[in-house]
Each structure stands twice: as C-alpha cells, then as structure tokens.
Amino acid sequence: MHKHLIIGLAGIALTEQERIWLKEKPPLGVILFARNSESPEQVKTLLEEVRACTRQATWAAIDEEGGRVNRMPWSPFNGRRHAAEYGVMYESNAGTAIQAVYQDSFVAGEALSDLGFSHNCAPVLDLFHVDGHGIIGKRSFGDNVAQVVALATACMRGLHDAGIAAVGKHFPGHGRANADSHVAVPQVNAPLATILDEAEPFSCLIAEGLKHVMTAHVIYTDTVPEVATVSPFWVRHVLRERMSFFGRIWSDDLCMKGVGDHVPAAAEAALKAGCDTLLVCQPEGVAEMYERL
C-alpha cells in the first residue's frame, strides 16, 4: 500500500516520525502545501531531505494552478492569473490566450523543477457552471469543451516542456457539483450522456500525452451511488476502458469529507476501484495510514 501513497507533511521540516516512515516504508511521493512553504531554499532542502530518507527518486507534487490555488507566496507562483482570466482572453483572441497559458505554465514549471518538484496538480479540466458550487469557479478555463481543451492543453505542454508532469483534474468533472468535497459529499444530477460529453477534455488531453488524472469525490446520481474516486464504473470502465487511459490514476485527497471519515477505508476502496496513486494530504490521515501499514 505505501508504494501507492503520496503523503502530506506536517511542516517546513521533517518530523522524526516522518523520517522513520520515509525510511522504513517509503511512499510513492510527497505533496507540499502552504504549511510546508517558507522560502525557496527551505522547500528545496525539505525535498532533498525527503529523498535522502527514502533513497529513491520520490515524487514531489504541489497544487500550483495559478490564481487562488497557490501554495508558495513568492514569484513566479504568487502573481499568476486565474484560469478564468485566460478564458476571457480566449474569447477575444484564442491564439494569444493559448500562448499566454503556455508561457505562464512553462515559467512556473521551470521554477517548480528548480525547487525539486516532479508533478503539478494542474490543469483543471472541469467545465465552469454558473449553478455549480464556487469551489471550482475561476479555476476553470471556461464553460465549453473546445475552450477548456485548448487552454488546458497549453498548460499541460508548458509544464511538460519544463520537465514537470501535469495532473489533470477532477475526473469526470467537478464543475456541476453542488458542494465542496473538502467538507461534504457533492452530487451531480445530470444525465450520464451530459457528464460524458463534459468529460471530453480528459479524453482530448489523454490523446495529447496527459499521463496523470485525478478523480473527483463526487456522486453522479445517474450512474452509481458512490463517489467517482471509489467507483469501478468511473475509474475502470470509463477512464481506463472507454478513454484508453494507461497512465496513473490519482485519488483526490482521501482526507476530504467527500470520500468519508475513515482514511484507510477510503484508501482501500480507491485502490480496489482502480486508483493506483493515493493522495493523503493531512498529517492526521497520514498517521492513520501508517498505523495501518
């Protein structure tokens, strides 16, 4: 199980307990948040220490989408536009917007690579919906598939060209969801055909070389009564079989309320459903997981 985990760390330096876990049962990767980010030098040192403990090329991920999803309060990360601003730009000049997204992602990607990161949890492939919960909102490139595909592809290419693996999210789409999956179990009450149409950005980016996809903790009421992250229908049938995705399937954070209250049980269910990369972002959840291993 530990070989599937991407774990959050408690602070700006490793705790003694984290050192033991990293040495004895090395996870696949770590993911950093604002609580882990004090300065470029400190972040670089932290990731070097992680890899010194694991003695492996341990993955290091972060959510640097731009706009309000920003973990490191220094340039080039803290001044980036929301995805929605590129969406507005696209409507007046598509070529300019695509180039701007590419450039922004490439610059951010090079800076991430210099710090020791390997993965960025971006781009957001969710379509914007006026009546959806604000948790996505300006994080979306727009409300139509073609626009989202064009801008998200530019984001992915910018990251890839800088040596950072892009993680597209949140499959099959969080834009219509009626709640924030950090604190509740969101639902989407739309026909399966509509959800599949709106999941088209995932298909398109997979065809363009996307190797990592993150699932949504959302129940799609027209299909199965479980959130997509723990649903073989969504993970195996739609993503693997229908979309022919052979890369890594990441669960969204298993500490989120959208997937229940018991992290190890959520991890088991996600693994069983076909997720092979399990995000456990909160220190309490990481402790629960390692107690179970």
Is residue 252 annotated as a catalytic residue, yes or no? yes
Q: What are the distances in angstroms from CA 262 to CA 25, 198, 254, 286?
A: 21, 31, 9, 12
Cα 34 off chain centre by? 16
Q: What are phi and psi of 166, to 5 degrees?
A: -85, 145
Among the options 252, 253, 261, 276, which is catalytic? 252
Six-digit token pair at 173?
């789409």
Among the options 2, 133, 143, 182, which is catalytic? 182
CB proximity list for 115: less than 8 A, separation 6 or greater: 40, 43, 44, 47
Give the span between the Cα atoms of 279 and 252, in whole angstroms. 6
Of the candidates 114, 40, 97, 119, the one whose C-alpha atom is nearest the C-alpha of residue 74 is 40
Q: Known catalytic residues?
A: 182, 252
